[in-house]
Amino acid sequence: MTNQPNRIASAFENGKAFVAFITCGDPDLETTGKVVREAVKNGADLIELGIPFSDPTAEGPVIQGANIRALKGGVTTDKIFDFVRELRKDVTIPMVFMTYANVVFSYGTEKFVKICSEIGIDGLILPDVPYEEKADFQPTCKKYGLSLISMIAPTSHDRIAMIAKEAEGFLYIVSSLGVTGERQSITTDVGAIVDVVKKNTDIPCAIGFGISTPDQARTMAQKADGVIVGSAIVKRLDQYGKDASGPVGAYVKSMKDAIKDL
């Protein structure tokens, strides 16, 4: 299955997008599949699938824990590829991988990206690859029709316009300094970052890092085109294990309901 043109764009066509992040293989791939399908059924517009890595530098303790559990359970990149092939038989919304440069390099960049394209992955997020080093991956992604999704952090300052001008798929705006995880409040002036982005690109932008409640989702969605939630979903996987699909579905619905009339 090759990529449909602009499948990522379709996530942002029906109002504000809800992007759900799920670590593959936590606690096992069968549960990941159930959770993805339940998230889709309850309104997720795009799924970010985390490929576990032993040293996930951008992640807080919740997602680090998920990485450790998945790796202990024996998940591998090849098993995840097979899992996505299966998932794509009935999941039609856009899906992207989020992982680390080392995972792609050690697999072989060309081979990795080519398989992503064949199994219906629409984009790639590599949090440890700064804008200045994206040439290591960009040409290969372009060759196989994958969007290399850029991240903009509160510290990006003068680089925001530059990153936005070359953005593909959607822009991932990091709401808070530090690592992923739920936060009591988000103090970054996200609106100011979005303003700069919008002056430089038409590509949609979604805000992630720290969003866990419907109120936070609503506040952030008013400023951007969508919200990304990871830790709050992964926390439910830790809590409920193989029975997590129901609680995750209910949570996704509450978040999507909070943003859908904006």
How do the domains of the chain map onto residue ranges? 7-259
Report the CATH number of the 7-259 domain: 3.20.20.70
Amino acid at site 234: V
260, two tokens: 């859908």
Give the separation between CA 88 and CA 113, rounded to whole angstroms: 17
Let me know: does 191 contact 175? Beta carbons within 8 Å. no
Kindly tell me if the per-residue pLDDT of 121 is higher than 90. Answer: yes
Bigger pLDDT: 2 vs 187: 187
Residues in the chain: 262
**Per-residue pLDDT tens over the stretch 12-67:** 998 999 999 999 999 999 999 999 999 999 999 999 999 999 887 767 888 999 99
pLDDT of residue 29: 98
DSSP state for residue 261 in the 8-state scheme: T
Please, which residues have CB within 8 angstroms of residue 235's CB and are 6 or more apart in sequence? 62, 182
Residue 50, beta-bridge partner list: 23, 98
Bigger pLDDT: 70 vs 4: 70
3-state secondary structure of 96: strand
pLDDT of residue 1: 42
Q: Rounded to two decimals, what is the model's pTM?
A: 0.94
Please, which residues have CB within 8 angstroms of residue 93's CB and are 6 or more apart in sequence? 10, 11, 40, 44, 45, 46, 47
